[in-house]
Structure 1
Amino acid sequence: MRQRLALIDMGTNTFHLLITEVDENGKHNDFVRTKVPVRLGQGGISNGAIAPESYERAIKTLKDFRKQIDEYGVETVRAMATSMVRNASNGDDFVKDVFKQTDITVEIIDGAREAELIYFGVRSAGVLDKQTSLIMDIGGGSVEFVICNDQDIFWKQSFEVGAQRLMDKFFTQDPISPENVAAEKAYLTEKLQPLTKAVAEYRPVVLVGSSGTFDTLCDIDALKKGDTSRQQVQPAASVLALEDFYRIHQELLQKNHEERLAIPGMLEMRVDMIVLASIAVDFVLQKYNLQTIRVSAYALKEGVLQQALASM
């Protein structure tokens, strides 16, 4: 018995759609894997409401997703909304509107559930092993951290320190000033105190970057080395050498918008936020003395898929 599923991850920056067919053995065949830079948090995240233009873009994108879902005759649709919607004063109205205009029921998930689903997605990419890892998923609104191995979650928490929030706070000039880099790190030191405590207790040795920013860093790194294979097929699991990360990180700090946009592998939708995200990655590597970076192309929606497969 085959079943078609559509999984939608409505992030603060990007909306993802995965349409897949699952057979009775749990094998799945993906028909559609797409991401759209909706920027739901733009112009509103710091005021705690979805701004009108962002609202419009989101509805339009979900109408497009609906068309694709109908074209493929999908039986089950799961749509998850995260940080921006769960914190927005007009989040409930938005969810009602989405249902009215697209017939898509949106689940607003809390940070702990988001972290858990990210873990299952990352685990299915095959990047975890017996060693204790720290998963970091940088969204536009929140950043999820999970301390785990391939068997268990030891600790998890979501922090409202996503790249759009950091950008609104610290990206006042371009290239970013050294003072603002220092200010962002001081802010993270304060906000991530529960993580610092958990790291001292569980001692992770590997940083596992989940999707988004980390995918882009790997794309840039591969193209710098003349490797174009990622452009055709993105691997589920990758490794990013520490020195390669720092080479790209320094470049991101020194260049302005146009110069960053010209970096092969850069996505326009990440061109500014990646600066703040990269500073956060640097902070985590330094603060917690992590020497290895692995990258999972899978995240939340693949986690939902894993749970759907487990319940079949």
Structure 2
Amino acid sequence: MKITKYGAIDIGSNAVRLLVSNVIEDKEKDPQFKKSSLVRVPIRLGADAFVLGVISEENINRMIDAMQAFKLIMKVHGVKRYKACATSAMREASNGSDVVAQIKEQTGVDIDIIDGKKEAAIISATDLNQLIESDSTYLYVDVGGGSTEFTLFSHGKIINSKSFKIGTVRLINNSKAENKAKFKKVQQWIEENTKQYKRIALIGSGGNINKLFKMSGREPGKPISYIYLNAQYQFLKKMSYKERVSELGLNPDRADVIVPATKIYLSAMKWSGARKIFVPKIGLSDGIIKSLYLNKL
């Protein structure tokens, strides 16, 4: 048996994460990917990028501190290889490439700013195929702070995928008119790409759907129904931000974005005709680990 540790740094618009995973190789068995450690820090880069157009000096310093901390954590774990990827907030910030250079100079961490298509491709490199039944159709929805990636799977193959600039942090900061126009584009894409399929289920990815699944009390592997998710949406929407923190125990940086995130998942279910959503807790960081192991990054 051979055990190798890999690290993945996911620099999102709402938070920055470090995932450390053990890849276990045994003769005559498929490799196993076991999560060893997950560290999440709430550096909301999207609040800078989508409103100011730049990453602020304060958040640059927080990013430098985070990357230095992540390097030490990976050193303690004995990580062999790691990769850092940044998504929509760093893509759109006018000083994104300067921030990457500054972090590289001060911490030695090399960050790749990836586009939406690359992000979707990395995510689809995960063990998603183990969850997808070969004769079924699924719409995979990965909701982030700045963008949402949609991938349609049918009979075990990717039919189409697209990244939209519709994320939780962006929805909070944009005007109602802007958000309405963005939702309309997503609706058109989903309806056009799913109309020929009679039965579709959603696969949800992202911190907010993971939290909603945990709140549901469902057993791992069991889906959440549209009816349940809609009831949760109405419940959360009626609560104030303060109530979501104090009464539900949500993290302060989760309590505001969970409402727009739920709306995105619900809308995707409505427009595709899906009545249930599976939540496998797989995301970009898992895809980075898998891609590192396969030498694709």
Structure 1 residues 93 and 183: alpha-carbon distance in aligned structure 2, compared to 1, 3 A threshold: closer
For the residue of structure 1 that corresponds to 2:250, the secondary structure is coil
Query: Is 2:293 aligned against 1:270?
Result: no
Q: Say if 1:78 and 1:202 are closer, same or farther in 2 by CA, change over 3 A.
A: farther
Indicate the SS of the match to 1:276: helix
TM score, norm. by length of structure 2: 0.88
Q: Is there any run of 5+ residues in structure 1 with no aligned partner, and where?
A: 171-179
**1:203 & 1:301 partners in 2: Cα distance?**
32
Superposed CA deviations along residues 242-292 of structure 1, whole A, max 9, x for unmatched, are: 222122100111111111223436332211111111222222222222111
Whether 1:104 aligns to 2:105 is no
Are residues 184 and 128 of structure 1, via their aligned partners in 2, closer, same or farther at CA, if it must alter by over 3 Å? same
Is 2:269 the counterpart of 1:303? no
Looking at structure 2, the residues matched to 281 and 265 of structure 1 have their Cα atoms a distance apart, in angstroms, of 22
1:129 aligns with 2:133: yes
Q: Answer yes or no: is 1:291 the counterpart of 2:286.
A: no
Deviation for aligned residue 1:199: 2.2
Q: Check if 1:67 corresponds to 2:68.
A: no
Structure 1: distance between partners of 2:157 and 2:56 = 39
Pairing 1:261–2:245 present: yes
Q: Given the alignment of the two structures, is residue 196 of structure 1 paired with residue 191 of structure 2, yes or no? A: yes
Please give the per-residue CA displacement for 1:9-68, whole angstroms capped at 9, x wherever unaligned.
111112121112324442344331222211111233233221222222222211111110
Please report how far the alpha carbon of residue 127 of structure 1 lies from its aligned counterpart in structure 2 after TM superposition. 3.1
Q: 1:160 to 1:200 in 2, by over 3 A?
A: same
**Contact between 2:187 and 2:268, CA under 8 Å: does it hold in 1?**
no
CA distance in 1, matches of 2:106, 2:203: 38
Q: SS where residue 47 of structure 2 aligns?
A: coil
The secondary structure found in structure 2 opposite 1:60 is helix
Q: What is the alpha-carbon root mean square deviation over aligned residues?
A: 2.4
Letter in 1 for 2:285: K
In structure 1, distance between residues paired with 2:189 and 2:109:
36
Answer yes or no: is the 8 Å Cα contact 1:38–1:61 preserved in 2.
no
Instruction: Please list, as runs of the form range in 1=range in 2, the aligned pairs for 1:43-192 lying within 5 A after superposition.
Output: 43-121=48-126, 123=128, 126-130=130-134, 131-149=136-154, 151-170=156-175, 184-185=179-180, 187-192=182-187
Match of 2:133, as an amino acid?
Answer: D
Distance 1:33 1:17 in 2: 6
In 1: Cα distance, 2:174 partner to 2:196 partner = 31
Distance in 2 of aligned mates of 1:201 and 1:52: 49
In the alignment, residue 109 of structure 2 is paired with which amino acid?
I
Contact residue 21 and residue 289 of structure 2 kept, 8 A: no
Work out the CA distance in 1 between the residues paired with 2:261 and 2:288: 25
1:311 deviation in Å? 4.1
Identity of aligned residues (%): 28
Aligned to 2:19: 18
| 2:211 aligned partner | 216
Q: Relative to 1, partners in 2 of residues 1:211 and 1:289: Cα closer, same or farther, differing over 3 Å?
A: same
Residues matched between the structures, number? 290
Q: Secondary structure at the match of 1:258?
A: helix
What SS is found at the alignment partner of 2:78? coil
Contact 1:249 1:278 in 2 (8 A): yes
